[in-house]
Amino acid sequence: METVQPFRDRQQIKTMKILLGHRNKRDKLLFVLGLNSGLRISDILPLCIGDVIDKRGRPIKQLELIEQKTRKRTKRKKKLIEISDTIREAIAEYLAELDVVERDRPLFSSQKRDKDGNYKSITRQHAWAILNRVARQIGIEDRIGCHSMRKAFGYHAWHNGVPLEYLMRIFNHSDKRITLDYIGVTQEAIQEVYKTIRL
């Protein structure tokens, strides 16, 4: 299986958010939440509207969850995610687009319903198709997948000076090299470090 790349270019990210928002606010929220939370797609897609709004219907400031990938471990710790203003704005835009806000409705509900007529979440494959369609539309040629959002979170956090040890904890990695590879720090980027030193 080939490795997917993070969304590295900030202008391309901005353009993707605009295009996704024009199509529908659900897809924009998927992208914004994935980029700004560092969550896996397997933790994003099961979310319900009630998970991201308070009792008054306003976007929450913190999201508490047990990550899907680590649920099977004996030490099932809840993870607390800060919900940035960017995510909160995307949630509010999406909720404003809905006719009725139902707390138990999947946050990323499909137009298709289950056999009982209930809303169901979009699939991982659908999320992949959404991201790839817009990425190709704006000329991104890198291999893109659902993990590209999570990797972009780490890539941009690292470039903004977030210590690698923090990212290791966020991603549950045990080795710095794993994290650097995961967030797409290439040998070329490492070589650039040598060009920045002017002592």
Specify whether 22 is catalytic. Answer: no
182 belongs to the catalytic site: yes
Catalytic residue of the set 8, 26, 151, 173? 173
Q: Please indicate whether residue 155 is annotated as part of the active site.
A: no
Determine phi and psi for 61, rounding to 5 degrees: -100, -20
Catalytic residue among 28, 150, 151, 156: 150
Dihedral (Cα; 80, 81, 83, 87), 10-degree rounding = -150
Which listed residue (25, 26, 28, 40) is catalytic? 40
Catalytic residue chosen out of the listed positions 8, 94, 156, 182 = 182
Q: Is 40 a catalytic residue?
A: yes
How many residues are given for the chain?
199
| CA 151 to chain centroid | 9
CB-based contacts of 12, cutoff 8 Å, min separation 6: 135, 138, 139, 140
181 CB-near residues (< 8 Å, 6+ apart)? none
Is 195 one of the annotated active-site residues of the chain?
no
Cα–Cα distance for residue pair 15/21, rounded to 1 Å: 10
Q: Which of 69, 76, 113, 159 is catalytic?
A: 69
From 88, 105, 120, 147, the catalytic residue? 147
Q: Is 173 a catalytic residue?
A: yes
Known catalytic residues are 40, 69, 147, 150, 173, 182
